Copies of this chain bind each other. A is one copy, B any other.
């Protein structure tokens, strides 16, 4: 599947991810765009963009869904073993540009991993 047609909804969503933040919650995107795009469409377009390898998704501490621009991801597979950092004060989420070392686990097959780190970001730290 994935994106097939270049529609206004697709371009508006992609534009949001080119404004500087590398991670945005669906809730935030709905807040920003719901006057112009239906929320169902927002969910579906984001899923398509993820299938195409342009975005990857994860859940934050509260179980709400975020999408982030991919740097090392392709349609073949997401290189999303990187951690995500969420600031407890301002709520902002960043992808941390580093791989994590997964523990060795005998007799199990590891497929995906998600590391969510919480604390204070650069802005709120000082």
Give residues in A with beta carbon < 8 Å to B.
Answer: 59, 61, 63-65, 83, 85, 88, 96, 98, 100-103, 105, 107-122, 125
Contact = CB atoms under 8 A, between A and B. Distances in A.
Given A101-B101, A102-B117, A112-B118, 10 more contacts: A63-B65, A96-B103, A100-B103, A105-B117, A108-B122, A108-B125, A109-B119, A110-B118, A111-B120, A115-B115
Copies in the complex: 2
B119 A111 contact: yes
A56 to B, nearest CB: 14
Given A59-B59, A59-B63, A108 B101 contact: no
B119 A107 contact: no
B122 A117 contact: no
A116 B113 CA distance: 6
Nearest 5 pairs of A and B residues by beta carbon: A63-B63, A111-B119, A109-B120, A110-B119, A113-B117
